[in-house]
């Protein structure tokens, strides 16, 4: 981040502080001003908030739905709400989700198989997935709903699409990915390389940060693509890196890889619903994602993928590339006539194999309704996300136990922390990754435990990192302030 950008950011917060008539950015009155006057937004009341009493409880009890007790009010829920900064791991439950799941249970009970084509609420199970596609296409920047599909899980979809898009030869067989990729990606790519008879130690090209740094420089990525390009069959990178929170310039990297003749795929697990995406215009070949993080579709929710229309719009299909086929990828006009010959849907849905779980789809659909009604659309939501993360960053860097990353490797016995996420809001998602110092001394685990005791739920990543993720749909500036205050108390207790 340039010095001018840092200066402008500080000036912006100084003006807001002055306008609020408060003396400190961590004054509760200032965050009330930000949440209610300067930058109101979010749809917090549309989500169920985890309870402080529950995350600190050793009890095995849960809500008794058989009781006639009146439901807890939103105000009462706020009183016992923890500060939840784990939306990059598991998004919160939309309030409407439970009711909509029960509606589908009732249709199953009352209409059974007829729910596929005669649904009382107009959500016929046979094509219910189509209801999710408009919002999905908008979130990833598809040209139309024909470029996106909901299906399976992220890693399963990655394997499935690699059957089509990873076709190694003796000359072009390598896969470019980042070092410390999410392990499931590494496992999948390794097994694909081995399945084709190649040696992973020779076929996987890992991008590593420079010594003493934690995130990748774009110029180093482009340099590696230029150097290794003629032997690279596939580039697979994350839209947002799960560990550091770094966001990558998708269009720039995709263009550079295409110039070298590479196929380009993206893992968008931490990007979809988090940062603005424009996959079609960026000419991305394919992308995969999960739906349980920023899309709030629940644990293990149905995932999705994107396939650029250039691969599916021609009569001859995939330009001679193979695909794995199933009956839900067949033309819906004749699907239930059970023809023997596969007739692919024109678009990404030709890769879908089977009918999806309605009970997973309905959770995704309930969340998509919230994205659809957000004032100003997703770009407005992303702007709020940048503001929340910026405020959290400034507050954390103002603590006396914060240590600049450039000196993080210096030896000290005093508990400190640094931030390994890029400072440029355009180069990160809604996440700050805090690394606790001294490295390797187990401080992170102790900090995490004490934060939970104070009602702050963040995400731990061994061995030394806690991830703080303020999600614009439901987190507030007050959540960020409480997190800053709690971390300050914990670090002082441990000093």
Q: Is 355 annotated as a binding residue?
A: yes
Task: Using alpha carbons, select from 102, 13, 87 the residue that is nearest to residue 44.
Answer: 87
By CB atoms closer than 10 A (0-12, 13-18, 19+), residue 128 is buried
Q: Is 258 annotated as a binding residue?
A: no
By CB atoms closer than 10 A (0-12, 13-18, 19+), residue 13 is middle
DSSP state of 54: H
User: Cα separation of 203 and 205, whole Å?
Assistant: 6
Q: Is 183 annotated as a binding residue?
A: yes
Q: Is 220 annotated as a binding residue?
A: no
Question: Token pair for residue 147?
Answer: 């470029």
On the CB side of 307, how many CA atoms lie within 13 Å of its CA?
A: 26
**Beta bridge pairs of residue 465:** 435, 461
User: Cα separation of 165 and 305, whole Å?
Assistant: 13
User: Cα separation of 378 and 135, whole Å?
Assistant: 10
Q: How far is CA 419 from CA 5, 7, 85, 394, 440, in A?
A: 18, 19, 16, 11, 16
Q: Is 182 annotated as a binding residue?
A: yes
**Crossing angle of helices 377-397/477-494, nearest 10°?**
30
Q: Is 267 annotated as a binding residue?
A: yes
- Secondary structure of 372-410 as H, E, C letters: HHCCCHHHHHHHHHHHHHHHHHHHHHCCCCECCHHHCCC
**Beta bridge pairs of residue 177:** 206
Q: Is 424 annotated as a binding residue?
A: no
Q: Is 155 annotated as a binding residue?
A: yes
Instruction: Name the pairing type of β-strands 459-461 and 465-468.
Output: antiparallel
On the CB side of 124, how many CA atoms lie within 13 Å of its CA?
A: 7
Q: Is 270 annotated as a binding residue?
A: yes
Counts of helices then strands in the chain (DSSP H, E): 15, 13
Do the beta carbons of residue 200 and residue 194 sit within 8 Å?
A: yes
- Residue numbering of the annotated binding site for pyridoxal 5'-phosphate: 154-155, 182-185, 267, 270, 292, 327, 355
- Residue numbering of the annotated binding site: 154-155, 182-185, 267, 270, 292, 327, 355
């Amino acid at each position: 981040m340039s010095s001018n950008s840092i200066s402008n950011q500080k000036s912006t917060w100084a003006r807001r502080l002055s306008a609020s008539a408060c003396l400190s950015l961590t004054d509760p009155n200032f965050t009330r001003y930000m949440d209610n006057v300067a930058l109101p937004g979010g749809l917090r009341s549309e989500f169920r908030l985890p309870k402080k009493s529950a995350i600190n409880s050793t009890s095995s009890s849960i809500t008794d739905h058989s009781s006639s007790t009146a439901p807890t009010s939103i105000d009462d829920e706020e009183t016992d709400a923890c500060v939840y900064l784990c939306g990059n791991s598991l998004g919160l439950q939309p309030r409407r989700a439970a009711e909509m799941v029960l509606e589908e249970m009732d249709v199953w009970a009352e209409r059974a198989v007829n729910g596929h084509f005669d649904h009382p609420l107009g959500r016929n199970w046979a094509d219910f997935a189509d209801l999710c596609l408009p919002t999905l296409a908008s979130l990833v920047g598809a040209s139309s709903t024909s470029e996106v599909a909901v299906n399976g899980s992220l890693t399963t979809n990655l394997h499935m699409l690699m059957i089509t898009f990873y076709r190694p030869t003796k000359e072009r067989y390598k896969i470019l990915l980042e070092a410390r990729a999410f392990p499931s990606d590494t496992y999948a790519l390794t097994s694909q390389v081995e399945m084709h008879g190649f040696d992973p130690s020779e076929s996987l090209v890992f991008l590593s940060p420079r010594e003493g740094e934690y995130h990748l420089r774009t110029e180093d990525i482009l340099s590696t693509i230029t150097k290794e390009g003629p032997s690279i069959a596939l580039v697979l990178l994350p839209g947002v890196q799960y560990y550091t929170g770094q966001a990558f310039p998708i269009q720039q990297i995709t263009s550079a890889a295409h110039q070298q003749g590479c196929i380009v795929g993206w893992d968008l697990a931490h990007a979809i619903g988090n940062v603005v995406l424009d996959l079609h215009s960026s000419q991305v070949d394919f992308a995969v994602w999960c739906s349980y993080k920023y899309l709030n579709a629940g644990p293990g929710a149905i995932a999705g993928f994107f396939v650029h229309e250039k691969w599916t719009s021609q009569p001859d299909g995939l330009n001679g590339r193979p695909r794995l086929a199933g009956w839900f990828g067949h033309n819906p006009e004749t699907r239930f006539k059970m023809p023997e010959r596969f007739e692919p849907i024109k678009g990404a849905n030709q890769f879908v194999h089977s009918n999806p779980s309605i009970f997973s789809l309905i959770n995704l659909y309930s969340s998509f309704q919230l994205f659809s009604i957000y004032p100003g659309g997703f770009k407005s939501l992303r702007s709020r996300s940048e503001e929340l993360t910026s405020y959290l960053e400034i507050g954390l860097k103002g603590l006396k136990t914060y240590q600049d990353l450039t000196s993080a490797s210096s030896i000290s016995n005093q508990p400190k922390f640094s931030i390994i996420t890029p400072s440029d809001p355009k180069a990160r998602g809604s996440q700050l990754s805090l690394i606790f110092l001294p490295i390797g001394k187990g401080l992170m685990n102790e900090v995490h435990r004490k934060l939970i005791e104070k009602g702050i739920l963040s995400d731990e990543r061994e061995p030394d990192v806690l991830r703080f993720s303020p999600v614009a749909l439901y987190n507030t500036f007050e959540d960020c302030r409480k997190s800053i205050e709690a971390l300050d108390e914990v670090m002082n207790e441990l000093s």
